Structure 1
Amino acid sequence: MSHGKQFTLYSHVTGPNGWKVAVVLEELGLTYETIYLDFKNGEHKAPEFTKYNPNGRIPALIDHRNNDYVLWESGAIIIYLIENYDPEHKVSLASAGDKLQIIQWLFFQASGQGPYYGQAFHFRFNHSEKLPSAIERYQKEIIRVLGVLEGVLSKTEWLVGNKCTVADLSFIQWNEYVDKTVEGFDNFNFEKDFPAVFAWHKRLTARASVAKVVAVRTIKQSN
């Protein structure tokens, strides 16, 4: 079976982790086709998808020029992409120490930012009943994660190696939801409370790759 584009990306129109991978693909100039799964119809749990990702979550990526190699979990996908398709280190770094620092931040994003932001969003907007204690718990965790980032970014422009890498790019999608998710909590003001993180986020969203992905996301979400 021939493919016009190198990668197939399984994603979702609102799921941040799929868009996170799309940004890295754009940064590296790689060609891909995105298949947006319909969660309401259970496409992410159907055999046609779980044969690629037994966890039934997005994203999953197929590299057609590497014997249809399949990988799931966004952090693992991003590491695969920079290890195999970023020889010029456009969004990665060459030294072993810097590589581990990047992986460190990818783990923090996947274990700290993503789950806590996701749970805060779920309990505030999607849960069947209002649970103020759960909402508050996860909103506080968002503030804590932002505080970790603020402590680092108040001293340096980027997370690793004084340049924008996938470590930075991995945080964009969930931070896009910060104001909506934490709105009204303890007079939260993103720009005032976390100025270094806010400025960093603005630098990231100004990148051409991010602007392109955001434009596609906006169209998909409006359909």
Structure 2
Amino acid sequence: MSHGKQFTLYTNKKGPNGWKVAIVLEELGLAYEPVYLDFGKGEQKAPAHTKHNPNGRIPTLIDHANGDYTLWESDAILYYLVEKYDPEHKVSVADAGERFQVLQWLFFQASGQGPYFGQALWFKFYHSETLPSAQERYQKETKRVLGVLEGVLAKQDTLVGGKITIADLSFIPWNDMAINSILDIDVAAEYPVVTAWHKKLVERPAAKKVLEVRAAMNAPA
């Protein structure tokens, strides 16, 4: 089977984690074909997708130039992309110690930011009943994660190596949601350093391009 693009990216129009992979693909100038799975129809759980990703979630990336090598879990995908396709270290680092620090932040994003921000969003907008205790818990956890980032970034411009890497880029989509919808506070006032860092990230050409596509796809009809 021939493929017009090097990568196939199974993703979703709204789900944050697929967009971060798209941002890094754009940063590295890698050609990819996005396949937007319809969650309402359960396409992410259908055999056509679970044969690639047994977890039935997004994103899933297939590298056709590498024997259809397949990966799921967004931050594992980011690390794969820079390890294999970023020899110039455009958004990665060369130093071994700093590479472990990149992993540290990717784990924090995956275990801290993603789940807590996601639950805050769910209990604020989508849960079938209003549960103030759950809303309070995840609002607090969202603020705690932002507080960690605020404290670190107050001392340094980026998370690792004095440059923008996948560690920073991995936080873009969920931070964008926290700033614009999840939290009922003035995020810019409470977390000015994080807000400035986020603004710098989303103004990068690759991120700007991807986020414009996301906005267009999710615009009201």
TM range (shorter): over 0.9
**Partner Cα distance (2:82, 2:156) in 1:** 23
- Percent identity at matched positions? 64
What is the Cα deviation at residue 178 of structure 1? 1.1
Alignment RMSD, CA only?
0.7
Do residues 51 (structure 1) and 71 (structure 2) align? no
Q: Does 1:104 align with 2:101?
A: no
TM-score, length of structure 2 as denominator length: 0.98
Q: Distance in 1 between matches of 2:189 and 2:130?
A: 29
Give 3-state SS (helix, strand or coil) of 2:218's partner. Answer: helix
Map of 1:88-127 to 2, 5 A cutoff?
A: 88-127=88-127
Q: What SS does the aligned partner of 2:195 have?
A: helix
Deviation at residue 137 of structure 1 after TM alignment: 0.3
Matched residues, number: 219
Taking the aligned partners of 2:80 and 2:45, their CA distance within structure 1 comes to 24
Q: In structure 2, give the amino acid aligned to 1:206.
A: E
1:82 to partner: Cα distance: 0.4
d(CA) in 2 for partners of 1:125, 1:212: 27
Q: Does 1:195 align with 2:192?
A: yes
Q: In structure 1, what is the equivalent of residue 72 of structure 2?
A: 72
Distance (Å, rounded) in 2 between the aligned partners of 1:189 and 1:155: 22
Which residue identity does 1:182 align to in structure 2?
Answer: L
The Cα offsets for residues 76-109 of structure 1, whole Å up to 9 and x where unpaired, read as 1011000000000000000100100001000000
What is the CA distance between 1:191 and its match in structure 2?
Answer: 1.2
Q: AA paired with 2:191?
A: F
Shift of 1:9: 0.1
The answer to whether residue 129 in structure 2 is matched with residue 144 in structure 1 is no
Tell me the alpha carbon deviations over residues 117-140 of structure 1, each in whole angstroms, 9 at most, x when there is no partner: 000000110000000110110000
Note the 1:31-42 alignment, pairs <5 A.
31-42=31-42
Unaligned runs of 5+ in 1: none
- Aligned-pair distance for 1:112? 0.1
Aligned to 1:181: 182
Whole-angstrom CA distance in 2 between matches of 1:206 and 1:152:
21
Residues in 2 aligned to 1:143 and 1:41: alpha-carbon distance in whole angstroms: 33
Q: Which residue type is aligned with residue 122 of structure 2? A: H
1:194, CA displacement in angstroms? 0.9
Distance in 2, matches of 1:152 and 1:196, equals 9
Moved >2 Å (runs of 4+): none
Counterpart CA distance in 2 for 1:191 and 1:125 is: 22
